[in-house]
C-alpha cells in the first residue's frame, strides 16, 4: 500500500538577500559539495534577473499565479520532503495561495481515495553571493502527520533489512510510465532523496522535479539503516536540462531519509559542457 | 461463425522471406476467408492457416505451386481455437489495428504506428480528412498534417500541433485521440460540426518525428531536433526557441549543447520552417495551438518580452474559460497567463511568432502532470488527459469561430 501526499502550499513572503547579489553570472554547483568539471551552470541573463527582482522587491508579496511563487513553493516542497519524506510519503505541491495559511493535503493509496487537510506556512530565503549556498527554508505544518504511514514503513523496513535478498531496479518508471507495484516505494524513496539535491541546488531561476530513477541498488544494511545507491534523473524546468546524479541514501523509519553522498554525472561523455547559458 | 467441420488447419513451414511474403499475400485475399497464425518472425517459421472448406483447393494449389511445405493437422479444432483466442488476446497490442476503431488510444505508440493511423483515418473518412505533407524532417521523415475540412476554398483555419518536443509523449498520444475525436464528432456534436462547417482544422501530431523516433530507440528524454551542429559534438536545436520572435534575445541559449539552443538562425530547422511556410501560404489561420507537457498550464503570448500583447485581456478571459471547462471533467487544475509571467522568459517561441503574424488566438498548452511523473506520464492517464484537454480546445475553437468572419 502506498501513500502519496499532495500538499497545497502557502508561501507568504520570499525574503531576499542583498539585491546587488541577485545578479548572477552563472557558476558551478554548491560550495562544499562535489564540483564536477562538467557541471551545468544555470546562469541567467542579467536583465531577466533584475526584472524578477524588481517585481518582488516592489510588491513584497508574490503573485501566486506567477512563476516566482511557484518556484519558491517548489523549494518548500523539496524541503518538506527532506524533513518528512519516506518510501511511503512523497510530498507534492498542489496549489500556491498567498495571504493565507491554508494547506490541502491529498492522500492517495491503493484502496481508498481520501483527502486530509492541514496547514503549512513557510518563509524562504535565497542567499546570493559568490559560492551560492542552498536556500533557507522555515516551514511549519499542521496536519502533515495525519496520514499514518507507520505500519507500511515498518513492514517495508522489516522486509528489506535482512541482507540476504538485496533489491535493485532500473528505469522507474519505464518509458510508458509503468512500474511494478513492488518498485513504487523505491521510486518514492528516490524522489525524497532527490529532494535533498533539488533543495540544495535551487534558486529563483530553477524549478526541479525528479524525472526518473535510472537505477537503484540496495547495499548491505548498516547500523540498522537500509542503504541504497541511486542514479536519478532530475529535470530542471527553466533550462530544460536533464541532470544526472548519483546518491548514497539511507533510510529507516526512525532516522528518516538521509543522503550521505552525492555525485553529479556528466551530461554525456563526449559532449562539451555548455558555457554560461542565457536562459 | 464457421462450423468446425468446415475447417481444415494447415501447418505451413515458411523457409525464407519470399515464402513469408507469399503467405502474407495469401492471407490478405479476403475472399478466401483465411485465418493465419504466425508464431514468430524468425525463419524458418511455422504458420498455421485455418482454411474454410470452400477455399481448400485454392490454397493447396497455391502452396504446391510455390513449393511451400505444409501438412494437414489432425487436431481437435476447438482446442486449437481456444489456444489461438488466448494468444490473440495476450498479444493484442502487437497486432496492428485494422481500423482506427481498433487503435489503442490508451497507449503510447511508435512513429510507424501513428503514421499508419493517419493513413487509416484518411482512408476511412475520405470526405473529411486528408493528409498534407508540409515538408521533411532533418532525417527525411515526412511532416504530416491532417486536414479536417468540409470543403470550400481558403476557409479560415485552426492549427493544432503536438509533439514538437519529442519527449512529451502524452501530447502525440493526445493528438492521435483528437484526430479520432474530430471524425467521430462531426455530424454528431453540434458545436464541433458548426466549427468544421465554417473552418478547417489542421493537426500535426508528430511535429518532431526525428526526435520522437530517438525517444523510442535511444533516449526517452530527448527534446530537440536531431540535426547536428557544425563544430560541436552536441546535436539538435530546440524547435520552440527557433522561431523568429525575439530571436537572439534572452530566453534561449546560444550553446548547441543546451536543451534550449535556439539554433544557428531563426527557422533553421526544417520542422519549424515547414510550419512557417504553411502558415504564410495559408494566409487565413485564425487560431494556433501548440501543445506541450508538462506543468498543467494554458499560456498565451508573449514569452520573449514582458510587454503585454495587445489582446491580452481577451486571451486571458478565454484562457480562464478554457481551463474551467477542462477542470469540469476530472478536476484537473491548470494555471494560465502569459508565457513570461507564468512559466519563464523564452525567446524564439512558436506562438509569439504566430501571434505576431496576426493569428490572434495563439495558445500553448502544457498538459499533465505537475512533476510527479513529468514526461513519463503513465499510459492510463492518456485518455483522461486527452478528454479534458479537448474541452479546453473546444472552448478556444468555438470562440475563434464566433470571432471570425
Strand positions, DSSP E, A182-255: 208-222, 225-236, 241-252
pLDDT at position A145 is 61
Is B365:B296 a contact under the CB 8 Å cutoff?
no
List phi, psi (to 5°) of B23: -65, -40
Rounded to whole angstroms, the Cα distance separating B169 from B157 reads: 26
**Number of residues that make up chain A:** 279
Are A217 and A228 spatial neighbours (Cβ–Cβ below 8 Å)? yes
User: Exposed, middle or buried by CB within 10 Å (0-12, 13-18, 19+), for A134?
Assistant: buried
Q: B374, A211: Cβ pair inside 8 Å? A: yes
Residue B304: pLDDT band by 50, 70, 90 thresholds?
Answer: very high
Whether pLDDT at B71 is above 70 = yes
> What pLDDT sits at residue A41?
32
Higher pLDDT, A99 or A218: A218
Task: Give the residue with greater pLDDT, A72 vs B1.
Answer: A72
> With an 8 Å Cβ cutoff, are A175 and B216 in contact?
yes
Q: How far from chain centre, in Å, is Cα A189?
A: 11
DSSP string, B223-256: -S---B-TT-S-B---TTS-SSSSTTSSSSBS-T
Per the CB < 8 A criterion, the answer to whether B245 and B353 are in contact is yes
Judge whether B228 is closer than 8 Å to chain A, CB to CB: no
Grid cell 481456444 is found at B82
Residues contacting residue A129 through CB under 8 Å, at least 6 positions apart: A17, A18, A21
User: pLDDT grade, residue B194 (50/70/90)?
Assistant: very high
User: Is it the case that residue B173 has pLDDT exceeding 90?
Assistant: yes
B335 touches chain A (CB under 8 A): yes
ipTM over 0.85: no
So what's the pLDDT on residue A212? 98
| CA atoms within 13 Å, Cβ hemisphere of A35 | 7
Lowest mean pLDDT of A109-118, A185-194, B347-356, name the range: A109-118
Helix runs in B250-370, H state only:
270-282, 312-330, 339-342, 350-356
What element of type H or E holds A143?
none
Grid cell 468544421 in the structure block, residue: B196
A225 pLDDT above the threshold of 90? yes
Q: Which residue has the higher pLDDT, A122 or B189?
A: B189
Residues 338-357 of B with CB under 8 A from A: 341-345
Closest Cα in chain B to A179: B378
Distances from the Cα of B172 to the Cαs of A211, B110, B114, in angstroms? 19, 10, 9
CB contact under 8 A, A176 and B378: yes
Look at chain B and count its residues: 405
Using a CB-CB distance cutoff of 8 angstroms, which residues of chain B are in contact with residue A267?
A: 257
Tens of pLDDT along B117-138?
A: 999 999 999 999 999 999 999 9
Best B375, B382, B383 member to test A by mutation, with max A CBs in 10 Å, is B375
Q: Is the pLDDT of residue B401 over 80?
A: yes
Residue range A43-102, pLDDT digits in tens: 332 222 223 333 333 335 667 778 888 888 889 889 989 998 999 988 887 767 664 333
Choosing among A55, A94, A106, A274, which should be mutated to test the B contact, i.e. which has the most B CBs within 10 A? Answer: A274
Contact criterion met (CB < 8 Å) for A271 and B233? yes
Cα–Cα distance measured from residue A14 to residue B260, given in angstroms and rounded to the nearest whole number: 28
Which position has the grid cell 532530475? A234
Calculate what percentage of chain B has a pLDDT beyond 90: 75
Q: Do B223 and A278 touch (CB under 8 A)?
A: no
Nearest to B253 among A65, A242, A278 (CB): A278
| Per-residue pLDDT at A25 exceeds 60 | no
- Does the pTM exceed 0.90? no
Flag the least confident range among A50-64, B13-27, B87-101, B270-284.
Answer: A50-64
pLDDT above 60 (res A9):
no
Measured between alpha carbons, how far is B156 from B400 in angstroms, rounded to an integer?
10
pLDDT, residue A38, reads 29
Grid cell at residue A76: 518548500
**What is the rounded average pLDDT for all residues in chain B?**
91
Amino acid at each position: 500500500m502506498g501513500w502519496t501526499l499532495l500538499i497545497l502550499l502557502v508561501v507568504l513572503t520570499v525574503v531576499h538577500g542583498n539585491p546587488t547579489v541577485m545578479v548572477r553570472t552563472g557558476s558551478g554547483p554548491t560550495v562544499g559539495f562535489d564540483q564536477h568539471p562538467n557541471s551545468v551552470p544555470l546562469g541567467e541573463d542579467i536583465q531577466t534577473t533584475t526584472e524578477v527582482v524588481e517585481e518582488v522587491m516592489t510588491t513584497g508579496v508574490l503573485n501566486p499565479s506567477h512563476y516566482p511563487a511557484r518556484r519558491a513553493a517548489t523549494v518548500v516542497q523539496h524541503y518538506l520532503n527532506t524533513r518528512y519524506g519516506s518510501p511511503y510519503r512523497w510530498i507534492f505541491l498542489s496549489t500556491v495561495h498567498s495571504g493565507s495559511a491554508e494547506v490541502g493535503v491529498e492522500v492517495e493509496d491503493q484502496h481508498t481515495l481520501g483527502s486530509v487537510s492541514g496547514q503549512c506556512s513557510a518563509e524562504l530565503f535565497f542567499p546570493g553571493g559568490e559560492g551560492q549556498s542552498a536556500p533557507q527554508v522555515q516551514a511549519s505544518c499542521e496536519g502533515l502527520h495525519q496520514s499514518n504511514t507507520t505500519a507500511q514503513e515498518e513492514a517495508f523496513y522489516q522486509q528489506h533489512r535482512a541482507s540476504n535478498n538485496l533489491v535493485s531496479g532500473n528505469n522507474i518508471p519505464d518509458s510508458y510510465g509503468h512500474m511494478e507495484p513492488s518498485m513504487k516505494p523505491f521510486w518514492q524513496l528516490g524522489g525524497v532523496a532527490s529532494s535533498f539535491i533539488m533543495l540544495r541546488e535551487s534558486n529563483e531561476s530553477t524549478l526541479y522535479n525528479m524525472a526518473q530513477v535510472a537505477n537503484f541498488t540496495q547495499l548491505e544494511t548498516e547500523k540498522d539503516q537500509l542503504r541504497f545507491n541511486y542514479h536519478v534523473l532530475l529535470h530542471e524546468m527553466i533550462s530544460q536540462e536533464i541532470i544526472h546524479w548519483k546518491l548514497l541514501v539511507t533510510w529507516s523509519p526512525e532516522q528518516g531519509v538521509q543522503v550521505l553522498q552525492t555525485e553529479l554525472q556528466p551530461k554525456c561523455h563526449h559532449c562539451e559542457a555548455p558555457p554560461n547559458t542565457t536562459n | 461463425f464457421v462450423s468446425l467441420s468446415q475447417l481444415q488447419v494447415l501447418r505451413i513451414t515458411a523457409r525464407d522471406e519470399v515464402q513469408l511474403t507469399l503467405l502474407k499475400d495469401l492471407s490478405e485475399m479476403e475472399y478466401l476467408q483465411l485465418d493465419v497464425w504466425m508464431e514468430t518472425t524468425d525463419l524458418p517459421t511455422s504458420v498455421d492457416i485455418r482454411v474454410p472448406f470452400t477455399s481448400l483447393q485454392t490454397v493447396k494449389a497455391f502452396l504446391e505451386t510455390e513449393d511451400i511445405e505444409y501438412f494437414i493437422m489432425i487436431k481437435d479444432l476447438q482446442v486449437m481455437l481456444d489456444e489461438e483466442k488466448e494468444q490473440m488476446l495476450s498479444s493484442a497490442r502487437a497486432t496492428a489495428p485494422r481500423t482506427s476503431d481498433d487503435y489503442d488510444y490508451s497507449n503510447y505508440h511508435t512513429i510507424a504506428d501513428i503514421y499508419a493511423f493517419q493513413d487509416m483515418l484518411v482512408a476511412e473518412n475520405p470526405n473529411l480528412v486528408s493528409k498534407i505533407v508540409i515538408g521533411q524532417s532533418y532525417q527525411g521523415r515526412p511532416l504530416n498534417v491532417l486536414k479536417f475540412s468540409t470543403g470550400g476554398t481558403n476557409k479560415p483555419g485552426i492549427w493544432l500541433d503536438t509533439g514538437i518536443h519529442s519527449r512529451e509523449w502524452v501530447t502525440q498520444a493526445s493528438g492521435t485521440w483528437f484526430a479520432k475525436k474530430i471524425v467521430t464528432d462531426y455530424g454528431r456534436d453540434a458545436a464541433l460540426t458548426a466549427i468544421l462547417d465554417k473552418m478547417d482544422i489542421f493537426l500535426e501530431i508528430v511535429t518532431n518525428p526525428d526526435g520522437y523516433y530517438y525517444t523510442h530507440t535511444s533516449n526517452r528524454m530527448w527534446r530537440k531536433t536531431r540535426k547536428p551542429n557544425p563544430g560541436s559534438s552536441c546535436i539538435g536545436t530546440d524547435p520552440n526557441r527557433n522561431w523568429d520572435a525575439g530571436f537572439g534575445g534572452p530566453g534561449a541559449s546560444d550553446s548547441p549543447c543546451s536543451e534550449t539552443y535556439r539554433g544557428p538562425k531563426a527557422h533553421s530547422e526544417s520542422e519549424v520552417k515547414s510550419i512557417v511556410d504553411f502558415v504564410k501560404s495559408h494566409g487565413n489561420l485564425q487560431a494556433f495551438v501548440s501543445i506541450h507537457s508538462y506543468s498543467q498550464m494554458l499560456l498565451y503570448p508573449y514569452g520573449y518580452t514582458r510587454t503585454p500583447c495587445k489582446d491580452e485581456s481577451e486571451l486571458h478571459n478565454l484562457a480562464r474559460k478554457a481551463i474551467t471547462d477542462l477542470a469540469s471533467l476530472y478536476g484537473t487544475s491548470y494555471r494560465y497567463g502569459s508565457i513570461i509571467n507564468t512559466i519563464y522568459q523564452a525567446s524564439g517561441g512558436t506562438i509569439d511568432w504566430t501571434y505576431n503574424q496576426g493569428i490572434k488566438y495563439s495558445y500553448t498548452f502544457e498538459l499533465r502532470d505537475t512533476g510527479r511523473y513529468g514526461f513519463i506520464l503513465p499510459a492510463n492517464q492518456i485518455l483522461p488527459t486527452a478528454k479534458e484537454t479537448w474541452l479546453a480546445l473546444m472552448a478556444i475553437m468555438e470562440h475563434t469561430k464566433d470571432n471570425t468572419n
